[in-house]
């Protein structure tokens, strides 16, 4: 992946995506992520703290790539460290759909997952 795209100033996250996907160990696709993120202090009882961390990760990402998606909107992938309640900073990839609107573009949160190359589990 390469690129240096600009992250929209407006970002949105439906907290249900955090509680029912990223932090739900029973979710068919979210289970592995739900074992990763709580290890850094995130909890389903505090989805706004996770949302704030995802906003900051996207806005401060070391790498941002934008490409067309099959959904009719561009897909933005942000790679960089995630601030966490534990104080550790694992690298993740967050994915956002960029929606054009009358007031400019808005990034709608789609997914987040560990960047395993930089966030390898500790022995």
For residue 123, is pLDDT > 50? no
Residues 33-73 have pLDDT tens digits of 888 999 999 999 999 999 999 999 999 998 899 999 887 88
Name the average pLDDT for the chain: 88
Indicate the pTM of the whole model. Answer: 0.86
Taking a C-beta distance cutoff of 8 angstroms, is the pair 1, 78 a contact?
A: no
* Boundaries of every domain in the chain: 10-114
Report helix, strand or coil for 22.
helix
pLDDT of residue 8: 86
pLDDT of residue 56: 96
The rounded distance, in Å, linking the Cα atoms of 47 and 13 is: 10
Residue pLDDT, tens place only, 68-96: 988 788 999 999 999 999 999 999 999 99
């Amino acid at each position: 992946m390469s690129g240096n795209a600009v992250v929209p100033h407006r970002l949105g996250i439906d907290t249900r995506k955090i509680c029912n996907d990223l932090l739900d160990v029973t979710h068919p696709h979210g289970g592995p992520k739900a074992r990763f993120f709580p290890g850094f202090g995130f909890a389903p009882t505090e989805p706004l703290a996770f949302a704030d961390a995802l906003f900051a990760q996207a806005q401060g990402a070391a790498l941002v790539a934008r490409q067309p998606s099959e959904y009719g909107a561009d897909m933005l992938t942000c790679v960089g460290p995630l601030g966490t309640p534990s104080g550790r900073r694992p690298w993740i990839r967050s994915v956002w759909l960029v929606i054009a609107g009358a007031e400019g573009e808005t990034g709608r949160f789609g997914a987040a997952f560990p960047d395993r190359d930089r966030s390898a589990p500790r022995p």
